[in-house]
Amino acid sequence: MKSFVLAFAALILSAGVFAQTAAPATVKKADSFVKFKDVTHDFGKIKQGTPVTYAFAFSNITDKPVVIESATASCGCTTPTKPEAPVAKGKEDKITAGFNAAAAGPFNKTIYVKVAGVDQPLELKITGEVLKAEDYANYEKETKKG
């Protein structure tokens, strides 16, 4: 009987240990490592077949070097480039987004920036409208008149 009571007490105590909930992990966000001057850019109207680029400037807001692990795009028409070297504390750098403007029509593309030590990528967006050559020529004439 004595061993039964001890076994039962041990079971109850061990159940209490396993019932404890773990403290939530601290979620690190990219914007606590880097600060972008802007996260969207509108190219406006551009001529079909004329590639465009935009540099998204950012600064390291930590007291340690920050590594940009990757910069990937939502489609093959957009080519992002990232810094190859770590960005020193307080220093600035850029993610450049190139867009090939091959197809006519409006576009809305996303660049995903992965910062070392952060699970969720930061999103940069480029938008605009690609016009066929003739339509772009007419657009330029109209804007010069006004």
Q: What is the pLDDT of residues 47-60, one digit of tens each?
A: 999 999 999 999 99
Categorize the per-residue pLDDT at 6 as very low, low, confident or very high, splitting at 50, 70 and 90.
low
Query: How many Cβ atoms sit within 10 Å of the Cβ of residue 90?
Result: 10
| Distance (Å, whole) CA 61 – CA 117 | 14
Q: Which residues contact 78 (CB under 8 A, 6 or more apart)?
A: 97, 98, 99, 100, 109, 111, 126
Q: What is the pLDDT of residues 69-86, one digit of tens each?
A: 999 999 999 999 999 999
Residue 7 scores a pLDDT above 80:
no
Residues 113-124 have a mean pLDDT of 95
Q: Which residues contact 11 (CB under 8 A, 6 or more apart)?
A: none
Q: Which residues contact 26 (CB under 8 A, 6 or more apart)?
A: none
Q: In the chain, what are the domains?
A: 30-145 (2.60.40.10)
- pTM, two decimal places: 0.79
In this prediction, residue 99 carries a pLDDT of 98
